[in-house]
């Protein structure tokens, strides 16, 4: 029987919420804040940045692998695929039906994504065209799923993001360092009054 990656994702979040994992989750949260900027529960963007944090924690942070031994065998196999998730900065184009084309502007890879959780499915076909920082996982059957922490940058930031990608490559920055920096730029745009995307989405001078 095929196990939904979204069921596994929720199982992992439930395990991560147990008190014995508070220290580990706190360490991961501090690392995410260091990479992308800090926020609190009073911020209007708390929910979507928290979802992005959990994607980071379960994949890059290794939490899914660490907790996988607590899961039933079928779910464990799915959880272990999270550590191999493909992270990218995607141009998202809905196709007919429920299939969506994801083209990664960092690596050039392209995917057809077939599986979304309920909340993402409701928004993916109605987003405003901004680039998506997202992680994709593939099942043994070849079904590509979008993990729940997909983060859309504002549409008007796209031309500035393209310039950031070019500059990041020229500086020899890694994918994760670049995409994390972009999340920090979005936080700057969201928190500073009267700041436009062209100012917020710039790398610091060397």
**pLDDT, tens digit (0-9, with 9 covering 90-100), for 71-115:** 999 999 999 999 999 999 999 887 776 778 899 999 999 999 888
Query: Would you state the pLDDT for residue 121?
Result: 55
Place of tokens 């920096």: 181
Q: What is the pLDDT of residues 34-76, one digit of tens each?
A: 999 999 999 999 999 999 999 999 999 999 999 999 999 999 9
> In 3-state terms, what secondary structure has residue 145?
strand
Residue 125: pLDDT band with limits 50, 70, 90: low
Mean pLDDT of 164-188: 98
Closest CA to 129 of 148, 157, 109: 157
Over pLDDT 70: what percentage of the chain? Answer: 93
Closest CA to 67 of 48, 53, 82: 82
Q: Could you give the CA distance from residue 25 to residue 85 in angstroms, rounded to a whole number?
A: 20
Place of tokens 């065998």: 73
Please say whether the beta carbons of 104 and 81 come within 8 A: no
**The model scores a pTM over 0.85:** yes
Q: Could you give the CA distance from residue 148 to residue 133 in angstroms, rounded to a whole number?
A: 11
Q: How many CB atoms lie within 10 A of CB 14?
A: 11
Please say whether the beta carbons of 148 and 117 come within 8 A: yes
Q: Could you give the CA distance from residue 33 to residue 72 in angstroms, rounded to a whole number?
A: 32
> In 3-state terms, what secondary structure has residue 143?
coil
Please say whether the beta carbons of 67 and 79 come within 8 A: yes
């Amino acid at each position: 029987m095929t196990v939904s990656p979204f069921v596994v994702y929720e199982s992992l979040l439930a395990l991560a919420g147990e008190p014995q994992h508070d220290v580990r989750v706190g360490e991961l949260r501090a690392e995410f804040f260091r990479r992308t900027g800090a926020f609190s529960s009073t911020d209007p963007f708390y929910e979507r940045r928290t979802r992005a944090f959990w994607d980071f924690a379960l994949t890059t942070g290794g939490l899914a692998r660490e907790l996988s031994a607590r899961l039933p065998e079928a779910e464990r196999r799915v959880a272990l695929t999270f550590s191999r998730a493909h992270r990218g900065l995607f141009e998202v184009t809905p196709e007919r039906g429920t299939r969506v084309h994801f083209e990664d502007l960092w690596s050039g890879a392209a995917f057809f994504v077939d599986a979304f959780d309920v909340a993402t499915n409701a928004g993916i076909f109605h987003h405003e065209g901004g680039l998506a920082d997202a992680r994709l996982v593939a099942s043994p059957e070849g079904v590509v799923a979008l993990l729940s922490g997909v983060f859309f940058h504002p549409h008007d930031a796209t031309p500035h993001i393209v310039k950031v990608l070019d500059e990041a490559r020229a500086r020899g920055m890694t994918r994760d360092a670049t995409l994390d920096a972009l999340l920090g730029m979005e936080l700057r745009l969201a928190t500073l009054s009267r700041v436009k995307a062209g100012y917020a989405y710039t790398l610091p001078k060397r």
